[in-house]
């Protein structure tokens, strides 16, 4: 017994000493004594006096910076909104800017070896497989059918019933439920039914929410050592995270087993397609969980800000209605894939709202070797370099003096939509790891937006509400988007 006690004492003593030592090294690298204005403002949180969100303060700093790049020394973080730097990181010197170990560690328990969380060979393999799948015409049509069926059988009946009862509805919650149903059907061939008329509590969605929120919050700890110790001791938020991940795993494993029993070769969902070449259950689980994360909150976030911006400029909504009538005539049904492709004004409005409110607000990489960015910034090996999508949508150098205005017309030339350079418009990332679900996401957003705009008048309860975001992997508005809706006359 004594020996066991002595060994335990030695083990914990060593763990604590090692943790303290690592913490000291970490603190020394971060320069906590830095006295520059940016670091002082960051440390004292005094930016909160003037800005609703941290991303708004960073935007302010980046707009003022001559190079479009700033340093937050106490975080060891270089942040840029300069398109040349972005192209350098994401394309020209792609190999020097992997996601890196600090990022993989934060999300590792939830995402494992899924595409979002890996570099190198694991990433190459999944990227190749997933681009073959997502690029194929048959899977795109399958995705379109799933979206339309969710709109027809769930979204429209729900909105009609809420309009009849004249009650307040949180559109953000509706969009989160919609996109969760949709991405589960697409990834697993499983229907969680979160958007049923009764708006049921969804166990899987809730466990997934908790797991991604708590994983993202690890980044807020003063040092990674803090959450790692909490994880070792299984206490506080780490205990909660462990339980949520356990639930996600059980559900994902259940689905994989069912698919295997029922046979998967004829199914169209992503899991079945991956199952034809992978037998490792854990790897399959990691792959599909990454897709859930990729396709759920991003689309819901994009739709929420779209409707908030539309409430600020009702003439854009009228223009979209006029365009739909022109393309679809008096046809009351949902649009076809081809009809949606002809709606340039709708496409422009969706791109414009994503410019101002990108669902992923910033993205970080870790430099492998010393480097110099095109604007002359020196990047020491191991530095975290972030490009800031939210700020990039608000830079005068990129979008002109009216960059803060919601103006879909900026995307149209002779009434035809013209796409932007992806290193300037970084909403879907850019370069070698550009988002694989971009087309699907845009189709989903446009189809949902159109169904609501054509069928209903939507009034935001508080049009003066300035969006405040909760910390997380994707932009989520605190308090949601409460609206009142009314059915339009046929
Ligand atoms: C408006 C909706 C969406 C936005 C704004 C968006 C944005 C992004 C961004 C910024 C990244 C880069 C993330 C990083 O490397 O850290 C990314 C990657 C990715 N996205 Fe999307 N996404 C959206 C929807 C979707 C959907 C619906 C899917 C799948 C069905 C999807 C699949 C992926 C995948 C697989 C990657 C990883 C690519 C790689 O690492 O090679 N995305 N997306």
| C-alpha 212: how far from chain center | 11
Instruction: Answer whether 298 contacts ligand 1 (Cβ < 6 A).
Output: yes
What is the pLDDT, as a whole number, of residue 341?
Answer: 94
Cβ distance 62 to 70 under 8 Å? Answer: yes
What is the pLDDT, as a whole number, of residue 202?
Answer: 87
What is the pLDDT, as a whole number, of residue 26?
Answer: 57
- Asked if pLDDT for residue 32 goes beyond 70, the answer is no
Which protein residue's CA is at the shortest distance from atom 1 of ligand 1?
Answer: 299
Structure tokens at 199: 């708006």
- Asked if pLDDT for residue 40 goes beyond 80, the answer is yes
Q: What spacing in Å lies between the alpha carbon of 56 and ligand 1's midpoint?
A: 23
- Asked if pLDDT for residue 174 goes beyond 60, the answer is yes
Which protein residue's CA is at the shortest distance from atom 21 of ligand 1?
Answer: 435
Average pLDDT over residues 190-209: 89
What is the pLDDT, as a whole number, of residue 490?
Answer: 65
Q: pTM for the full model?
A: 0.91
Question: pLDDT tens for residues 159-173?
Answer: 999 998 889 999 999
Mutate to test the pocket of ligand 1, among 86, 189, 437, 476 (most ligand atoms within 8 A of CB): 437
Average pLDDT over residues 93-117: 92
Q: What spacing in Å lies between the alpha carbon of 134 and ligand 1's midpoint?
A: 12
CA distance 136 to 129: 11
Domain boundaries of the chain, sorted by first residue:
1-30, 97-358+393-487
- Asked if pLDDT for residue 4 goes beyond 80, the answer is no
Q: What is the DSSP letter of 375?
A: T
Average pLDDT over residues 341-350: 97
Instruction: Answer whether 192 contacts ligand 1 (Cβ < 6 A).
Output: no
39 is in an annotated binding site: no
pLDDT band at 98 (very low <50, low <70, confident <90, very high): very high
Q: What spacing in Å lies between the alpha carbon of 311 and ligand 1's midpoint?
A: 27
Ligand 1, residue 432: give the atom nearest the CA.
41
What is the pLDDT, as a whole number, of residue 14?
Answer: 67
Please state which architecture CATH assigns to domain 97-358+393-487: Orthogonal Bundle (1.10)
Average pLDDT over residues 332-338: 88
pLDDT band at 463 (very low <50, low <70, confident <90, very high): confident
Instruction: Answer whether 346 contacts ligand 1 (Cβ < 6 A).
Output: no
Residue 211: which of 170, 242, 166 has the closest Cα?
Answer: 242
């Amino acid at each position: 017994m004594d020996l066991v006690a002595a060994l335990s004492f030695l083990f914990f003593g060593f763990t604590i000493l090692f943790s303290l030592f690592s913490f000291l090294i970490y603190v020394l690298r971060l320069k906590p004594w830095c006295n520059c204005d940016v670091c002082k403002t960051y440390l004292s949180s005094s930016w909160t006096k003037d800005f609703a969100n941290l991303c708004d303060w960073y935007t302010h700093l980046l707009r003022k910076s001559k190079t479009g790049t700033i340093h937050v020394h106490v975080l060891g973080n270089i942040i840029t909104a300069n398109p040349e730097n972005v192209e350098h990181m994401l394309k020209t010197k792609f190999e020097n800017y992997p996601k890196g170990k600090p990022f993989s560690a934060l999300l590792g328990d939830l995402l494992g070896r899924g595409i979002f969380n890996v570099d190198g060979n694991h990433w190459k393999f999944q990227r190749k497989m997933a681009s073959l799948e997502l690029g194929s015409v048959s899977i795109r049509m399958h995705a379109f059918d799933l979206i339309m069926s969710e709109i027809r059988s769930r979204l429209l009946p729900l909105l009609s019933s809420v309009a009849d009862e004249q009650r307040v509805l949180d559109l953000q919650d509706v969009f989160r439920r919609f996109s969760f149903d949709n991405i589960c059907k697409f990834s697993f061939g499983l229907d969680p039914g979160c958007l049923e008329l009764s708006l049921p509590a969804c166990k899987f969605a809730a466990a997934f929410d908790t797991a991604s929120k708590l994983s993202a919050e690890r980044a807020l700890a003063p040092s990674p050592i803090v959450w790692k110790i909490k994880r070792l001791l299984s206490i506080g938020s780490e205990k909660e995270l462990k339980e949520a991940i356990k639930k996600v795993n059980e559900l994902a494993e259940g689905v994989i087993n069912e698919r295997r029993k029922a046979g998967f070769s004829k199914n169209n969902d992503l899991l079945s397609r991956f199952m034809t070449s992978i037998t490792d259950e854990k790897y399959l689980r990691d792959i599909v969980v990454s897709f859930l994360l990729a396709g759920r909150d991003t689309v819901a976030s994009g739709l929420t800000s779209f409707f908030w911006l539309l409430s600020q400029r009702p003439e854009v909504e009228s223009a979209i209605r006029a365009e739909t009538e022109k393309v679809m005539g008096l046809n009351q049904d949902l649009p076809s894939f081809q009809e949606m492709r002809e709606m340039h004004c709708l496409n422009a409005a969706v791109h414009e709202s994503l410019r101002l409110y990108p669902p992923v607000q910033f993205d970080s990489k870790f430099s492998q070797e010393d480097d110099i960015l095109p604007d002359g910034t020196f990047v020491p090996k191991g530095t975290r370099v972030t490009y800031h999508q939210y700020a990039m949508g608000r830079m005068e150098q990129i979008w002109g003096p009216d960059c803060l205005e919601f103006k879909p017309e900026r995307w149209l030339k002779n009434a035809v939509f013209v796409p932007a350079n992806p290193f300037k418009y970084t909403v879907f990332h850019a370069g070698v790891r550009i988002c694989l679900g971009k087309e699907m996401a845009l189709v989903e957003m446009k189809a949902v937006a159109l169904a609501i705009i054509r069928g209903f008048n939507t009034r935001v309860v508080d049009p003066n509400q300035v969006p405040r975001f909760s910390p997380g992997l994707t932009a989520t508005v605190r308090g949601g988007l409460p609206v009142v809706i009314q059915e339009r006359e046929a």
